[in-house]
Amino acid sequence: MRPDPNLLELPGSERTLPTVGEAKGPADPAERIEVTVLLRRDSRRGHLPPVEEAGRRARASRAYLSRHDFATSFGAREDDLAAIRSFAAAHGLAVTREERARRSVWLAGTVGVLSSLFGTQLTQYDSPAGKFRARSGSLRIPPALRHRVVGIFGLDNRPAARPHVRPRPSYAADAPAYTPVEVGTAYSFPPEADGQGQCIALIELGGGFQAADLSQYFQRLGIPVPSVSAVSVDGAENAPTGSATGPDAEVELDVEVAGSLAPGAQVVVYFGPNTDQGFLDAISAAVHDATHHPNVISISWGGPEATYSAQSLAGFESMFEDAAALGVTVIASAGDSGADDGGPGSGLAVDFPASSPAVLACGGTHLVLAGSAIRSETVWNDLANGEGATGGGVSIEFPIPSYQAGANVPAAPNGSAGRGVPDVAGDADPATGYQVFVDGAPVVLGGTSAVAPLWAALVARLNQLLGKPVGYVNAELYQSPTNAAFREITSGGNGGYSAGPGWNPCTGLGTPDGAALLTALRGA
């Protein structure tokens, strides 16, 4: 099929061909695939308040929307849904499902038909990560869908993110390693709470967990096995690979850290394919889950900002805005490759989704304990040994948010005033990592992957004790006296930036004193 010459460019959809993998020719036109069409938010009853504005309001006066009310007031418009149905029917596409709250419609058809309808060509690639389709240039849409559609995901299914987990290096085999409970005690997590009544969502893009691993792990810790369930997104499932060096390490680290520190909370794992479509759909499934009602979302996957299209960045950001309106805290790890977020020679860069101003970004430290007390804590940086380091720096995609106006954030690599990453930190160095259990064996893991579920468990405890979700909490954390509830990390660097008093681009405000943070939030 030839593309319709009357098609209009879909703003923000432009992509470049990947630099990894080998092009093998045109994608199979007969292959049947499914795409996600993301629609505009219904604004006829008013607009969602900007995230930063909502964050500045006193928590007691915040009125979080229920998921039902959100769908009714700010979900997709019925006329937009009808327009997509009509478009699908006219071109022989199947509408496999639609969800008003998520503003999403899923269309199924062949590669040939969908490529023609959206004005693009797809190339098949082989890579060490597997086969995928990729495209370049912009997508195009018919005039009837103009202003209705804000993104189309799934035509290009190249890998979108990587897990931010690291094994303990061999040279550090005799270094101390801690249980999540020991780390939580060192950070003064409020002992009178266990996350009861809360729900923590974990976003995973591969691998899986085994119930036998969890049972054995929590029994060893003397903790009741928490409620852990899996949600399938876009056909991905809880699928353990059996390899402790693969994505199972990410999944079980997340579950075991969150479950150890908030054993009373329900833990729900959303498994999506590792594509921009799967990543976005997994997040939107968690944000708008009217069955489990998560109020904390932990994301331990990501990639350099430059690897995402503008429509992807905007689509993710819109879901984080939805989360803020629902009182859901979104937490993401800041990456494990230091200040360039991907290897020497790539220049300074930060990791997304941690770089979103609507997300609580987590950096990493090297933590040494003396009993239950902190003996020393510095920036995690093992680049000299060919290992990892905490991500951190300044965004070139998102402007500096108002809550960082007084944080002395340096200029972004392009000279603009950008959002500083991270906001907070926690133990991440695999050399002082976490004792966990993966694929039938005890292992020690680290990476900023561990810090996101660590903070998710802390937020679950705070939500329980405060009696109301903290929701979008970034603005509060930067204000006095709340910002005093952090242990500043003043020693070390991440290969591009150095730590220092106050906020810094390696460890943000620092690591938490959970009890002091509870007191400050109660006062606020």
Q: Give the residue carrying structure tokens 């803020």.
A: 324
Residue-by-residue DSSP string for 407-443: TTPPPPTTSS-EEEE-SEEEE--GGG-EEEEETTEEE
Catalytic residue, candidates 250, 281, 340, 377: 250
Catalytic residue status for 449? yes
- Cα 469 → chain centroid: 19
- Cα 263 → chain centroid: 22
Q: 400-418: string of b/e by CB count within 10 Å (b at 16+)? A: bbebbeebebeebbeeeeb
Catalytic residue status for 254? yes
Catalytic residue, candidates 182, 194, 234, 254: 254
The ranges of the chain annotated as CATH 3.40.50.200 are 162-475+482-523
Q: What are phi and psi of 355, to 5 degrees?
A: -75, -5
Catalytic residue status for 321? no
Q: Using only C-alpha atoms, what is the Rg of the chain?
A: 22
Catalytic residue, candidates 322, 449, 488, 513: 449
The top-level CATH class assigned to 162-475+482-523 is alpha beta
d(CA 383, CA 56): 38
d(CA 364, CA 382): 12
What are the pLDDT tens digits along the chain (524 aa)? 555 778 999 999 999 999 889 999 999 999 999 999 999 999 887 778 777 766 666 666 678 999 999 999 999 999 999 999 999 999 999 999 999 999 999 999 999 999 999 999 999 999 988 999 999 999 999 999 999 999 999 999 999 999 999 999 999 988 889 999 999 999 999 999 999 999 999 999 999 999 999 999 999 999 999 999 999 999 999 999 988 778 999 999 999 999 999 999 999 999 999 999 999 999 999 999 999 999 999 999 999 999 999 999 999 999 999 999 999 999 999 999 999 998 656 699 999 999 999 999 999 999 999 999 999 999 999 999 999 999 999 999 999 999 999 999 999 999 999 999 999 999 999 999 999 999 999 999 999 999 999 999 999 999 999 999 999 999 999 998 899 999 999 999 999 999 999 999 999 999 999 999 999 999 86
Residue 371 token pair: 């009993």
